[in-house]
Amino acid sequence: MNLKKCLLALVAGSVFFVSCSSDDDNNSAEPTGAYKDGTFILNEGNSAPSTASITFLGDNGNVENDIYTSVNPGKPGLGTYLQDLFFGDDKAFIISGSANKVTVVNRYTFEYIATIDTNLENPRFGAVVNGKAYITNYADYRVGTDDFLTVINLTDYSTSKVALNNWSEKIIEENGKLYISNGYYGDGTSITVFNPSTNATESVIELGASPESFEEEDGILYVLGSGKLSRINLATNQVSGSITLPEAFTYSAQNLSIEDNKLYFTSSTSVYSMPLNSVTIPTTPLLTYTSTSQYGAMYGFSVNDGKIYIADGGDFSSDSKIYTYSLTGTLLNSYTVGVGPNGFYFND
């Protein structure tokens, strides 16, 4: 960390300890910061900027709401309809749909670093590979062929565009490659494999179903889509198998998450789990939670480090709640967060 940033941090009156010792240069120092150990919850908000916020749930169980605003008074606002948060080295990137921009913060202190607002048009999700961030963009949401990737050079935050010509939504990095789910609201039925070293699409894997969520484990990409659970072998980029979902799940299964050799997904207010290699889709839920939200149930979901995390969208006009459950489906805790919580991002 350079002197300028140090001064900036001090001037900002941050209460958080910032390491300024000279041995920072070797990057081997253990990161420090108030938000080092815990989970960020993205509260997407509504059209009013004060509704979009980020909550921090510490591993110690403490909850702090609206951390960005409290750490960064006077800095540019995040924007609203917060869409995604992703990490790269010591940074976190926060995408706002309405403001059409990305805010870069230190992932441990949450101090503001930069704003990226070029070559973006309805940004969706992002991932980092080799010093560059890649963000999917809808452009015109009714059209798939104009979707593109924003490539951000993380040394100077300069940007460029790469056309994708396909409905582009979620994006993950695995082994130096980027995997993009080509599907939103039923349009698009494939996975794009993008090679950052050539800056071009390497392969498009047809699924025959619109992908909703996906995750990689041991060289296999598991894709949950409309009516299908597909497995893709990333060594060959071929679909190695797919299971048709029971009719009740055709359009309702979502939020695929993998933890400890188990695959979790949700349907309505229920969570289901199955062994990763199973070919049978369970019909008995692991747990069902009660939602007061008529239509914001299971708005965010994730399984991590032995816990199930559920975010309830609430009424999208007031603070809502998240719940944590054990892997056996016992309620552990509930916390009040911000407006429209939609995702969990584990800072570890």
The residues binding another protein (CB under 8 A) are 48-51, 76-77, 79-80, 96, 98-101, 115, 117, 120-122, 140-141, 184-185, 254, 294-296, 313, 315-319, 339
Nearer to another protein, 90 or 315 (CB): 315
Take residue 204 and report the two structure tokens written for it. Answer: 């498009």
By the 8 A CB rule, do 214 and 191 touch? Answer: yes
Q: Which residues of 195-216 are buried (b: 16+ CB within 10 A; e: fewer)?
A: ebeeeebeebbebebbbbbbbb
Tell me how far CA of residue 264 lies from CA of 78, 219, 285, 343, 347, in angstroms: 31, 18, 10, 15, 21
Q: What is the closest distance, in whole angstroms, from the C-beta atom of residue 59 to another protein in the complex?
A: 27
Q: What is the closest distance, in whole angstroms, from the C-beta atom of residue 127 to another protein in the complex?
A: 21
Nearer to another protein, 165 or 268 (CB): 268
Nearer to another protein, 115 or 201 (CB): 115
Q: What is the closest distance, in whole angstroms, from the C-beta atom of residue 309 to another protein in the complex?
A: 18
Listing DSSP states for 241-276 in one string gives EEEEPPGGGTTT-EEEEEETTEEEEEETTEEEEEET
Nearer to another protein, 212 or 215 (CB): 212
Q: What is the closest distance, in whole angstroms, from the C-beta atom of residue 165 to another protein in the complex?
A: 17
Phi/psi of residue 297, nearest 5 degrees: -65, 145
- Where do runs of H (alpha helix) occur along the chain? 3-11, 67-71
Q: What is the closest distance, in whole angstroms, from the C-beta atom of residue 336 to another protein in the complex?
A: 10
Bridge-based pairing state of the strands 319-326 and 331-339: antiparallel
Give dist(CA 65, CA 156) in Å, integer.
30
Nearer to another protein, 77 or 329 (CB): 77
Nearer to another protein, 114 or 276 (CB): 114
Integer-rounded Cα Rg, in Å, for the chain is 20
Q: What is the closest distance, in whole angstroms, from the C-beta atom of residue 317 to another protein in the complex?
A: 4
